[in-house]
């Protein structure tokens, strides 16, 4: 137990030191920058990523990955910027890959360090609100919270790590559930489509209907899929 404690905090110290060193190197190589300005708008984010050319895709990947873990970074800005910076398909695949990696890191951090660390990233009331839903071991409920908009997807990655959900099941949920929303954001960011107010109203109504149906019949769906066992275990 004592060895596990020291390994845990040595890993945390190593990650923290690496992050600080990268931050200092970025400032020295590309000049000072303020996080509040970078994420104030899509244009500011595009200008910031442009400073890293020809390594702009790497910089954007890291920002999108950190967006999952660091709550103050607004995901809507980074999602829209991906399509604007790199075009629809490159932006979508780059954003989705970073989203999956960030989600897995958040899950692993929660699984390894527990609730005290999670509450440094996710407010305790949010953890309490959604942990019961995750702990219910219903595939459909958790999957739809990842798939549909208006749920705190990033927070759910941490909260899932506190449950008994197996990592491979979590990875499946993320791979299938999170990219569709990212695709829509990249469509808008790339200028391929615009969504009017009534379009958002339809999305909200359809999402609410799908979630209600899935929640209402979650037991039947879980039984037919035969995968409820994937919610048990630690790995």
Residue 234 has a pLDDT of 45
Residue 88 has a pLDDT of 82
Angle 157-149-99 from CA coordinates, rounded to 5°: 40
Question: CA distances (Å), 74 to each of 54, 79, 138, 165, 208, in order?
Answer: 24, 9, 29, 27, 23
Q: Which residues contact 214 (CB under 8 A, 6 or more apart)?
A: 140, 141, 144, 221
Residue 8 has a pLDDT of 64
Among the ranges 137-141, 157-161, 168-172, which has the highest mean pLDDT value?
Answer: 157-161
pLDDT confidence tier of residue 157, bands split at 50, 70 and 90: very high
Residue 52 has a pLDDT of 81
pLDDT confidence tier of residue 135, bands split at 50, 70 and 90: low
Judged by DSSP in three states, 166 sits in coil
Residue 74 has a pLDDT of 65
Judged by DSSP in three states, 1 sits in coil
Residue 48 has a pLDDT of 82
Mean pLDDT calculated for residue range 201-225 = 63
Residue 29 has a pLDDT of 60
Query: Above 60 in pLDDT, residue 200?
Result: no
67-71, 105-109, 214-218: least confidently modelled range: 214-218
Q: What is the mean pLDDT of the chain?
A: 76
Core vs surface per residue 95-121: b (16+ CB within 10 A) or e: bbebbbbbbbbbbebbbebebebbeeb
CA–CA distance, 88 with 185 (Å, rounded to integer)? 9
Mean pLDDT calculated for residue range 118-127 = 90
Question: CA distances (Å), 140 to each of 49, 151, 189, 224, in order?
Answer: 37, 14, 30, 11
Residue 43 has a pLDDT of 79
Query: Above 50 in pLDDT, residue 111?
Result: yes
Mean pLDDT calculated for residue range 132-150 = 71
pTM for the predicted model, two decimal places: 0.76
Mean pLDDT calculated for residue range 30-51 = 72
């Amino acid at each position: 137990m004592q060895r596990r404690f020291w390994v845990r905090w040595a890993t945390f110290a190593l990650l923290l030191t690496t992050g600080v060193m990268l931050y200092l190197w970025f400032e020295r190589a590309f000049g000072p920058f303020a996080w509040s300005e970078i994420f104030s708008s899509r244009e500011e984010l595009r200008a910031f990523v442009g400073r890293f050319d020809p390594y702009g895709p790497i910089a954007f990947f890291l920002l999108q990955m950190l967006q999952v873990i660091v709550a103050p970074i607004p995901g809507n800005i980074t999602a829209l910027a991906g399509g604007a910076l790199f075009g629809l398909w490159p932006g979508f695949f780059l954003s989705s890959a970073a989203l999956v990696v960030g989600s897995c890191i958040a899950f692993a951090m929660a699984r390894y360090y527990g609730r005290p660390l999670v509450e440094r990233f996710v407010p305790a009331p949010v953890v309490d609100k959604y942990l019961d839903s995750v702990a219910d071991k219903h595939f459909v409920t958790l999957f739809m919270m990842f798939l549909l908009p208006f749920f705190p997807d990033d927070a759910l990655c941490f909260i899932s790590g506190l449950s008994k959900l197996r990592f491979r099941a979590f990875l499946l949920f993320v791979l299938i559930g999170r990219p569709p929303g990212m695709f829509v954001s990249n469509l808008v960011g790339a200028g391929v489509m615009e969504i009017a107010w009534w379009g958002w109203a339809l999305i909200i109504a359809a999402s609410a209907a799908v979630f209600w149906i899935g929640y209402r019949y979650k037991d039947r769906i879980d039984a037919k899929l035969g995968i409820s066992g994937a919610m048990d275990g630690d790995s």
